[in-house]
Chains A and B, each alone.
Chain A
Amino acid sequence: MTTRAEFLERIRQQVRMSPGRFQASSARRPPHPAAEAETIRRELAERWPETLEAFRREFEGVAGVFHRTASIDMVPAVVARIARERGARELVAWHAAALGADLTSALGAQGLDVHQMPAAEPSAAAERDRLRAVAARAGLGLTGVDLAIAETGTLVLVSGAGRPRSTSLLPPCHIAVFDRTALIESLRQVGVFLEAWHGDGRPPAAGAAINFITGPSRTADIELTLTRGVHGPKEVHAIFVEQPIRG
């Protein structure tokens, strides 16, 4: 077997032998990403309605379903309507701390069977298995959103405590709740936020996975016929809340 030292030495030799094809440099990284991310947020705070409109257009373009409510208190009614239309009753949700609000009792009052994901890692393997089985059979998954990208209609979700990866993946219908603080304009800006989360800023959560979600799961592998809901959700709903969720 080739050792690490041998492997890397071969690469070093080759790199030394090649002058390169042309003068080139990688992309210029923001020197202070956290500060730049803050500037982006501040500037967008003033023109969020345009950004939201662009997001809605792109999100609907990738077959997302867009909703808008005045406040977080009105979200359970929207969720309940979506559930009724699909004949679904069981819902898995990110923990209240991750959503920014505790909707469990309000959703329950709407007749939904709500499973709130735990704020901390369960210590017993059996509990972990049980929660996975719940997510696998639930008809609806309710999550927050860390970034909503207007350029592409994309939702960015960072995994972590109380925010399992499966909530937006296993149920056939994913419902994501967000407000203006998540809105950004472009993929370039995503780069600034990613740099900030890994550099001088704080990430929204400490998990090992960051997922970009651009509409429902799809494939065109059989005769290039577009089909939705292969492995991931068949439907993705985004509920925009006008009043910032965390007050």
Chain B
Amino acid sequence: MSDAELATPFRHRAGGAMKDAFLQEALTIATTKFIGLRREAFAGFPEGEALRDQARAIKEATLQHLDQHLESLIGNVERLGGHVHFAATPAEARTIIVDIARRTGARMAVKSKSMATEEIHLNEALEAAGVTPVETDLGEYIIQLAHERPSHIIAPAIHKTKGQVAELFTRALKRPAEPDPEALTQIARAELREKFLQADLGITGANFAVADTGTVVLVTNEGNGRMVTSLPRVHVAVMGVEKVVPSFTDLMVFLAILAKSATGQKLSVYTSLVQGPRRGGELEGPEEFHLVLLDGGRIAQIAGPLREALSCLRCGACLNVCPVYRQIGGHAYGYTYPGPIGILLTAMLEGAPAVRDLAHASSLCGACADACPVRIDIPRMLIELRREVDEKKIAPWTERVAFTLLAKLLQSPRLYRFAAKAGRVLQRPFASDGRIRRLPLFFGEWTRTRDLPPVAPRTFQERWASDKDLRA
């Protein structure tokens, strides 16, 4: 999202999304379908629960020795003839990749779907360097043509109708397109096939990297991951440092639950294990392989409060079940990663001030933690983030004053009793039909979207003291 859009308060972005009737329908259909597919996949897979526990344990065990696993990964990638780069910030990652593109004389880069490259805003940097980036995942291709950003981690264009996509293709590709998903897909196939065959540079993320064999693992359904890692002469993979797993045995545990959580498939159509540049005897595969290891705020969380979020597999399951995401969709969050886990990742990558409002964009219902294949306790970290936002005085002063006063009130029985009496008097002008619909001044923020229950005519303590029936 652009800075201008981010300048709009989250509340307004969310409000806009809730008034968008098409978006509302698209979100309901998509998230409901994903929830059903996921549930079915695990219903027929009794060992799934134990595998989820094991997957979580592997992530935790890997983090406890992350330095060693990364050193092993680096050593093995280099042994296979690959190059490893280190990017502390998105800017460093962009510089590294643009340098590779320049050195190899690349004019066009084909990209398979990657949240890491979204996160570092790579496309703009490539364009500025004279390299044309082409997104090849159908959903990403659509939003690239529309100059938008993904609205869901695994279904980037769910906010668009087939009619909108047809209009977009007709305009951007200058060829007539019917609003039929099959026909639109065939147009994209033809357009992108040419690009795969022409591109000099292939850019991917990594779903996993296996330390002890130097393997980058890509999971896709369309086959674009295979194209991008097989046809261009240079392959660059960008991955967050937390994506490493120790061994192939560990990898299989994750593969067994990843697609089930994301799309309800037993496995995605293509799982590609890529081990460095092409080897002797091979007709295809890149001549050069580069792995860019990305920090971007992750490393500081190894011993930080958001450590658990480093286990995220980016499956999107927590988005689909989140009552807030289901209402507002991905764009309203305003950053690369939407949904419950997206709030935590945004805090990790952009710092706590970025989630001042977003930290509250959760009902803390816990559906995300239940859906998470590796059982990340997202609500716990959201609560901690709210506290941090409060303690660091990032929250608006009115909110901080209100909560400080409330805390004092709740700690003192005398003050509490007094406040109950005072409240009964003060609320008189505002209460009607047993509800307070509107409060004055900044208190009005509270009643803007909900009613406030008034203080009861008699408090429970007063009734307890005088009412014998209650005690009987």
Q: Taking beta carbons and an 8 Å cutoff, which residues of A are in contact with B? A: 1-4, 6-8, 10-12, 14-15, 17-18, 20-22, 24-30, 58, 62, 117-118, 120-122, 128, 131-132, 136, 151-154, 159-162, 164-166, 169, 187-188, 190-192, 194-195, 198, 206-225, 227, 229-233
Contacts and interface: CB of A to CB of B under 8 A. Distances in A.
Given A11-B70, A152-B266, A209-B273, A169 B227 contact: yes
Nearest to A118: B283
A219 B284 contact: no
Contact of B162 (A10, A222, A232, A233): A222
Interface in B298-318: 299-300, 302-304, 307-308
Interface stretch (B218-226, B354-362, B445-453): B218-226
Given A14-B300, A208-B285, A221-B137, A1 B155 contact: no
A153 B280 CA distance: 31
10 contacts: A11-B241, A11-B299, A24-B57, A26-B61, A132-B197, A160-B279, A165-B230, A220-B155, A222-B138, A231-B136
Given A219-B138, A219-B185, A194 B248 contact: yes
A209 B275 contact: yes
Dominant secondary structure at the B interface: helix
Contacts of B273: 194, 209-212
Interface string B234-258: 0000000100011111111101100
Given A209-B229, A225-B181, A219 B222 contact: yes
Contact of B277 (A24, A208, A219, A223): A208
A212 B225 CA distance: 12
B270 A122 contact: no
Given A15-B65, A153-B266, A229-B189, 20 more contacts: A11-B70, A24-B61, A132-B283, A154-B267, A165-B230, A195-B248, A195-B249, A206-B280, A209-B275, A210-B273, A210-B275, A214-B268, A221-B137, A221-B142, A222-B160, A222-B181, A224-B30, A229-B186, A230-B223, A232-B222
Contacts of B293: 7
A26 B64 CA distance: 11
Given A15-B66, A161-B282, A217-B269, A169 B299 contact: no
B294 to A, nearest CB: 10
Q: For the complex of A and B, list the 5 residue pairs with the smallest distance between their C-beta atoms, beginning with the closest.
A: A232-B223, A161-B281, A18-B303, A221-B139, A14-B302
Contacts of A160: 279, 281-282
A222 B138 CA distance: 8
A233 B274 CA distance: 20
A26 B222 contact: no
Interface of B: 26, 29-30, 33, 54, 56-58, 60-67, 70-71, 74, 80, 84, 86-88, 92, 95-96, 136-139, 142, 155-158, 160-162, 165, 181-182, 184-186, 188-189, 192-193, 196-197, 212-213, 221-224, 226-227, 229-231, 241, 245-253, 255-256, 263, 265-285, 293, 295, 299-300, 302-304, 307-308
B222 A231 contact: yes
A7 B283 contact: no
Contacts of A217: 221-223, 269-270
Contact of B64 (A24, A118, A136, A231): A24
Contact of A191 (B182, B230, B248, B302): B248
B270 A187 contact: no
Nearest to A14: B302
A223 B270 contact: no
A232 B226 contact: yes
A146 B47 CA distance: 26
A232 B428 CA distance: 69
A224 B29 contact: yes
A191 B189 CA distance: 33
Contacts of A188: 252, 256
A11 B271 contact: no
Nearest to A1: B92
Contacts of B95: 1
Contact of B271 (A161, A211, A219): A211
Contacts of A117: 283
A18 B295 contact: no
B302 A169 contact: no
Contacts of B241: 11
B179 to A, nearest CB: 9
Given A7-B88, A221-B139, A232-B269, A207 B222 contact: no
B90 to A, nearest CB: 12
A17 B303 contact: yes
Contacts of A122: 283
Given A25-B61, A223-B181, A8 B71 contact: yes
Contacts of B280: 121, 161, 206
B202 to A, nearest CB: 12
A221 B63 contact: no
Contacts of B251: 191, 194
Contact of A2 (B86, B181, B267): B86
Given A29-B249, A220-B155, A230 B303 contact: no
Given A191-B248, A218-B222, A232-B226, A207 B281 contact: yes
